[in-house]
Amino acid sequence: MHRSVWWSMAVVPLLAAAAAPGLAQTTVNPDISIIPRFRVESNDGEKLDQGKREFSRPDLQFEELELAIQSYLNPYARGDVILTIPGPDLENSKLGIEEVYASVLRGLPLDLNLRIGKYRAEFGKLNMVHPHAWPFITQPLSQLRFFGEEGLNDLGISASVLLPTGDVYSRLTVDLLRGNSVGKAAGLPDTTGAQPLYATSARLMAFFTLGDKSDLEAGLSTYTGIHDPYNHYRFWYLNGDMKYKYRSSAYTSLTVQAEYLFNTRTVTAAPAPVSGTLNTSGLYMYADYQFFKIFSAGARYDWSEQPYSAGDRAWAVALFLGYYPVEETLGVRFQYQHTETEPGTSTRAVNLLALQVLFSMGPHKAHPF
């Protein structure tokens, strides 16, 4: 009898404290994850200038280490900090900030969501995904040429709202960006000494349930900024994306994803071949088939021009395999890629073989299923 009374006296206050909304606003410790990536790579293009085509000695490289620190700040907001140590020079690499932002997820009028800080903007579908979550190893050519290796990652403020479209889930996201990413990928180096001019981006997306086993997401994005700080010339990126997923079982699925980017800008004679309005574009599409849950196989096609040149174009075909023996925490990927570039009238073809190993310690997984 006395033991039951003492047990009740100990448990009831704990349950009351857990139920009190004012005391359940945040966790004591944030979620911490570490995801390193390594790559072994060989290609047959290093000696083409010497008239030789032979694969180079396989080179073991350190790609990147990602440190993710994430936690809810209170029931309405959360914070995310993504730190990285880039490769390949591991000894001289320094810890840097890839993303650091706070998100208000609920509690605002019209169910508005806000995000402020440095983050990957919601432009298209692939830009928001970290490289460790790609099913392949290399970055698509259109993403690399028009955004650079870091993608559209900038300081900014983002607002998103759900639209009243009935059974179709749709959302509009608008970003006001500082403009730092423009010069790194789509613009001229700024030596004027003036403050960077703001850039803006937006994405309208819709999610359709096609049946019990399949769904489709489609989106339209735009991104604009000043790419020439000397003449204040503006560029516009218009992007269409789609992602289709079919799940025949919990262990088998097919994903098809594609994006097409159109670029238009006013240019002077340099660095573009001619003055006036320049229009270029690029696209990628891939299919990824997951089977037995721990295996995946797929193919990707790339085609892209340059932001400042319609004559400098390239295309690539890639075949990739994935093996995830310990579910999301360990991944081994292999990729073969054939790339041809056409600067002017000449063509340069390169074959690439790459093996990637990555693993995750913590709740932020190396590869999402």
Q: What is the pLDDT of residues 144-155, one digit of tens each?
A: 999 999 999 999
CA dist., res. 221 & res. 204, Å (int): 6
CA distances, 50 to each of 44, 185, 280, 337 (Å): 12, 31, 32, 22
CA distance 235 to 98: 25
Does residue 17 register a pLDDT over 50?
no
- pLDDT confidence of residue 259: 98
How would you class 106 by CB atoms within 10 Å of its CB: exposed for 0-12, middle for 13-18, buried for 19 or more? exposed
Calculate Rg over the CA atoms of the chain: 24
Please tell me the distance from the alpha carbon of residue 246 to that of residue 253, in angstroms, as a whole number: 5
> For residue 76, what pLDDT band results from cuts at 50, 70 and 90?
very high
For residue 312, what are the β-bridge partners? 343
pLDDT band, very low/low/confident/very high, at 141 (cuts 50, 70, 90): very high
Among 87-96, 222-231, 276-285, the least confident range: 87-96
For the record, the structure tokens of 42 come out as: 């060989």
Q: Is the pLDDT of residue 270 over 90?
A: no
The per-residue pLDDT for range 318-358, each reduced to its tens digit, is 999 999 987 678 999 999 999 999 876 667 899 999 999 99
CA 15 to chain centroid: 41
Which pLDDT value is given to residue 126?
96
Question: In the 3-class helix/strand/coil scheme, how is 107-175 assigned residue by residue?
Answer: CCHHHCEEEEEEEECCCCCCCCCCHHHCCCCCCCHHHHHHHCCCCCEEEEEEEEEECCCCCCEEEEEEE
Which CATH number is associated with domain 96-359? 2.40.160
- Residue 255, token pair as written in the block: 């994903």
pLDDT surpasses 70 at 53: yes
- pLDDT exceeds 90 at position 142: yes
The pLDDT, as a whole number, for residue 256 is 98
